[in-house]
C-alpha cells in the first residue's frame, strides 16, 4: 500500500481549471486501479503553509544554538511547528502528484512556499563533503500542469520555469522518477481547446495505471 500526496496549487476546482480537470481524471483512475493506496490531498490554497519569515528564522536560530522548542516564542512555535508537520508528512509519502497552472512562466507562489517548507537539510537532503545529497531515493513524482501556450517544444520551451524548477528540486531531493503531464496550447488555439483537454485527460487515465 502506497501513500500518495496529491498536492494541488490551484484556487479553482476541475470545473474551471484545465490542470485540475486533468488531475481529477488522473487521481480518480488511480484510486480505481490502486484501491488500497492512501491518497492525501494537500490543497495548498486551503492549508496553512507558512512563508519563511522573521519568526521562522529566529526560531530556527534558537534551535540551532541549542535552545529547546519550549524556549521559542508563541509565533515561532506555531510557524516552525507547522513547517515541521509539512516536511514530516512529505517524507512519509511514497508518491507525489503536483498539480499547478502555469502563471507568468512558473507555478503559483504557494507552491514555492510549500517547497521551502519541505526542503529541510537532514530530511529531504543532507550536506556531505561531496556536496548536497538527496534523501528521497525511494519515491516517485508526477507534475500535472496546464499552460495556455506551447512549452514542450519550440521557442517558448526555455521560458517555462515551473516544471523545470520542480524537476531540479526532485533531483535535489534524490527522487529517481519525475514525470510531467501537460495540457497545453488551449489558449493559443481556442478552437482546439476541448480536443487538447480531452487528449490530456485520456493520457492522464493511462498514466494512472502505471504511476
Residues near ligand FMN (CB under 6 A) are 10, 17-20, 101-105, 146-149, 187
What is the closest distance, in whole angstroms, from the C-beta atom of residue 4 to ligand FMN in the complex? 20
C-alpha to C-alpha distance for 195 and 126, rounded to whole angstroms: 45
Closer Cβ to ligand FMN, 60 or 105, answer by number: 105
Closest residue to ligand FMN, Cβ-based?
101
What is the closest distance, in whole angstroms, from the C-beta atom of residue 70 to ligand FMN in the complex? 43
Closer Cβ to ligand FMN, 59 or 148, answer by number: 148
What is the closest distance, in whole angstroms, from the C-beta atom of residue 31 to ligand FMN in the complex? 21
Q: Which of 30, 27, 3, 32 has the alpha carbon at shortest distance from 13?
A: 27
DSSP code of residue 70: G
Residues facing residue 181 across a β-bridge = 144
Cβ(7)–Cβ(166) below 8 Å? no
Closer Cβ to ligand FMN, 50 or 148, answer by number: 148
Measured from the Cβ of residue 57, the count of other Cβ atoms closer than 10 Å reads 12
3-state secondary structure of 200: helix
Cβ(209)–Cβ(29) below 8 Å? yes
Closer Cβ to ligand FMN, 124 or 145, answer by number: 145
What is the closest distance, in whole angstroms, from the C-beta atom of residue 18 to ligand FMN in the complex? 3
Amino acid at each position: 500500500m502506497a501513500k500518495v500526496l496529491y498536492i494541488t496549487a490551484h484556487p479553482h476546482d476541475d470545473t474551471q481549471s484545465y490542470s485540475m480537470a486533468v488531475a481529477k481524471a488522473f487521481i480518480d483512475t488511480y484510486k480505481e486501479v490502486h484501491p488500497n493506496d492512501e491518497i492525501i490531498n494537500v490543497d495548498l490554497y486551503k492549508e496553512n503553509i507558512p512563508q519563511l519569515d522573521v519568526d521562522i528564522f529566529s526560531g530556527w536560530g534558537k534551535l540551532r544554538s541549542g535552545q529547546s522548542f519550549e524556549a521559542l516564542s508563541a509565533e515561532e512555535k506555531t510557524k516552525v511547528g507547522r513547517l515541521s508537520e509539512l516536511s514530516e508528512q512529505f517524507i512519509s509519502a511514497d508518491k507525489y502528484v503536483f498539480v499547478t497552472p502555469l502563471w507568468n512562466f512558473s507555478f503559483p507562489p504557494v507552491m514555492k512556499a510549500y517547497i521551502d517548507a519541505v526542503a529541510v537539510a537532514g530530511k529531504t537532503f543532507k550536506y556531505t563533503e561531496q556536496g548536497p545529497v538527496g534523501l528521497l531515493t525511494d519515491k516517485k513524482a508526477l507534475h500535472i500542469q496546464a499552460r495556455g501556450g506551447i512549452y514542450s517544444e519550440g521557442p517558448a520551451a526555455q521560458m517555462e520555469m515551473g516544471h523545470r524548477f520542480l524537476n531540479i528540486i526532485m533531483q535535489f531531493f534524490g527522487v529517481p522518477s519525475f514525470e510531467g503531464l501537460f495540457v497545453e496550447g488551449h489558449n493559443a488555439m481556442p478552437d482546439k481547446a476541448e480536443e487538447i483537454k480531452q487528449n490530456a485527460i485520456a493520457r492522464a487515465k493511462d498514466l494512472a495505471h502505471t504511476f
